[in-house]
Amino acid sequence: MSETNQGQGLNAAGGARLLTFGCRLNAYESEVIRGHAEAAGLGPVVIVNTCAVTAEATRQARQAIRKARRDNPTARILVTGCAAQIDPDRFAAMPELDHVLGNAEKLKAETFRALARHDAARVAVADIMTVRETASHLIAGFEGRARAFVEVQQGCDHRCTFCIIPFGRGPSRSVPADQIVRQIRALTQNGSAEAVLTGVNLTSYGADLTGAPTLSHLARRILAEVPELARLRLSSLDPVDVDEGLLALVAEEPRLMPHLHLSLQAGDDLILKRMKRRHTRQQAVELSRRLRDLRPDLALGADLIAGFPTETEEAFQHTLELIADCGLNFLHVFPYSARAGTPAARMPQVPAPLRRERARRLREAGQIARRHFFESRLDSLAAVLVEKADGAHAQGHSEHFAPVTLDRPAAPGSIVQATIEGIGADGLIGRLAA
């Protein structure tokens, strides 16, 4: 979870406090929500933007709502996001809440104007499956962030058997490229040196637009039309949709950062089939090798699920071995979480303690891989985007998205050159170039 306002409660002047759970897309949408709430003059309000990827994420959101009410007894408390979209009645039953908003409603200025007039329904959650368009939302920037997330795509037309998110986000739909270019240009003018293109299923970008432009077409247009943008990143990519255009982009565009994150989920073909994923293990390995051939310094991350229903020890070993076979450097590991209404929830379940044990083993292997990557960066020069600084140090991320602590302060938002001299508890240690 991230908080976009500091402190436990609201001050006397009121304002919007955002509690954001889950993905980068939610982080972007929280800034849209903030702008609408402030423009409407909503007053003291706590807005909880939820995630539904796992049951634990939903539990944490409900816990945060209860705490927000204790800390802010007189403020209005709103909940929105995927968990609220999927199960609005459950949230509406919470006495701590004043309003429940759907994923479409949370992005509409009129929703917040109605809330400010006190004539809004307590529960406003429409059928997300009927939504067919996604508009760009111009935001000035991200509070305290030199990096900005930019929504370019929403929803998903695929039905992985473990995933509830299509029912929270609706069908796949894309933001027109001209709107995205305007958004990124505005963000750079307000100090963002790096933009991260985000979506629920990013590689499906453009299929619903006239001419069916691809993600690589969009990225090239951004880089051409916003030359002041120093760095561009792509969020999670479905390996089956990484086409020749994206591969060429990786090889040819130095402003596309050498860090990609793949939605792999598993390394066993039978489990992938039962997940209803569209790639095979061999395709994932071949894609990883090809990406590294095109850009040898590339860092690769991946999502992996431990303990999917019917997963045997042999199948788990195939996933564990995928870390080395794909040369993965950064992992997001999730123990499988059964979500009511998904096909996987009806499959024979792996016992929860075994799921957690397998997740632990994957994380340990991931930590070793991460350490090896950090060791490979020793004595190299890194371009670090500075995100925060105090009187003695600065922190940021390298082009490979490795966290770097610098030996002295530097201006947040700047990109500085540093020699990597060590490895700390949380990442790399760098010395600023003279």
pLDDT class for 146, splitting at 50, 70, 90? Answer: confident
pLDDT above 60 for 140: no
The whole-angstrom separation of Cα 140 and Cα 186 is 7
pLDDT above 70 for 291: yes
pLDDT above 70 for 405: yes
The reply to whether the predicted model has a pTM over 0.85 is yes
Pick the CATH number of 2-126 from 3.40.50.300, 2.40.50.140, 3.40.50.12160, 1.10.3720.10: 3.40.50.12160
Domain 147-376 sits in CATH 3.80.30.20: yes
Percent of the chain with pLDDT over 70: 94
- On whether the CB atoms of residues 75 and 11 are closer than 8 A, the answer is no
Candidates 42, 65, 51; CA nearest to 22 is: 51
Residue 131 token pair:
């939504």
Which CATH fold would you assign to the domain 381-432? OB fold (Dihydrolipoamide Acetyltransferase, E2P) (2.40.50)
CA 200 vs CA 117, 141, 178: distances in Å: 33, 21, 20
Strand 330-335, strand 394-397: pairing: unpaired
Burial class (CB in 10 A: 0-12, 13-18, 19+), 191: middle
pLDDT digits (tens, 9 = 90+) for 354-378: 999 999 999 999 999 999 999 999 9
Per-residue pLDDT, averaged over 272-298, amounts to 97
pLDDT at 6: 32
What Rg value do the Cα atoms of the chain yield, rounded?
22
pLDDT digits (tens, 9 = 90+) for 302-330: 999 999 999 999 999 999 999 999 999 99
pLDDT class for 26, splitting at 50, 70, 90? Answer: confident
Residue 362 CA to its chain's centroid (Å): 21
pLDDT class for 201, splitting at 50, 70, 90? Answer: very high
pLDDT at 254: 96
Main-chain dihedrals φ then ψ at residue 370, nearest 5 degrees? -65, -45
Per-residue pLDDT, averaged over 3-27, amounts to 64
pLDDT class for 9, splitting at 50, 70, 90? Answer: very low
pLDDT above 50 for 114: yes
Scanning the structure block, which residue is given the tokens 């969009």?
Answer: 218
pLDDT at 3: 46
pLDDT at 128: 84
pLDDT at 422: 97
pLDDT digits (tens, 9 = 90+) for 225-260: 999 999 999 989 999 999 999 999 999 999 999 999
The count of C-alpha atoms lying within 13 angstroms of the C-alpha of 285, restricted to the half-sphere facing its C-beta, is 13
Candidates 100, 413, 16, 92; CA nearest to 3 is: 16
pLDDT class for 4, splitting at 50, 70, 90? Answer: very low
Instruction: Provide DSSP, 324-386.
Output: HHTT--EEEEEE----TTSGGGGSPPPPHHHHHHHHHHHHHHHHHHHHHHHHHTTT-EEEEEE
Q: Where are the domains of the chain?
A: 2-126, 147-376, 381-432
- On whether the CB atoms of residues 355 and 361 are closer than 8 A, the answer is no
Instruction: Give the chain's mean pLDDT.
Output: 91
